[in-house]
Amino acid sequence: DVKVTQSSRYLVKRTGEKVFLECVQDMDHENMFWYRQDPGLGLRLIYFSYDVKMKEKGDIPEGYSVSREKKERFSLILESASTNQTSMYLCASSTGTGGMVEQFFGPGTRLTVL
């Protein structure tokens, strides 16, 4: 069974803090993704990575950065958390091949910034 785990289910941080969200997958997938989920907006892609040390911006990268030093781990960093970054953050992974490819999701981290 593919497993994608996220470091925390719930996180509360203060405005201006640096926040790290970690994601680990155990299926040797090439691609990893970070989304944020907000009611009425669905999932929006923040960043994705297609290989170690490789990253691409998604639709809403402002205020975020990422790190992928090992194939199984993809970190999302909020350099200076703000209240508008309060959201559910979902990590996903998939193989790198074309055709029909399933993205496997972690359970999510609900981040509250006060």
Residues that bind other proteins (CB under 8 A): 4, 31, 33, 35, 40-45, 48, 50, 56, 90, 92, 94-96, 98-103, 105-108
Q: In terms of DSSP bridges, do strands 19-25 and 4-6 run parallel, antiparallel, or are they unpaired?
A: antiparallel
Q: Which residues pair with 36 in a beta bridge?
A: 44, 89
Taking the complex as a whole, the smallest distance from the CB of residue 31 to other proteins amounts, in Å, to: 6
Taking the complex as a whole, the smallest distance from the CB of residue 111 to other proteins amounts, in Å, to: 15
| CB nearer to other proteins: pick between 17 and 68 | 68
User: Taking a C-beta distance cutoff of 8 angstroms, is the pair 2, 17 a contact?
Assistant: no
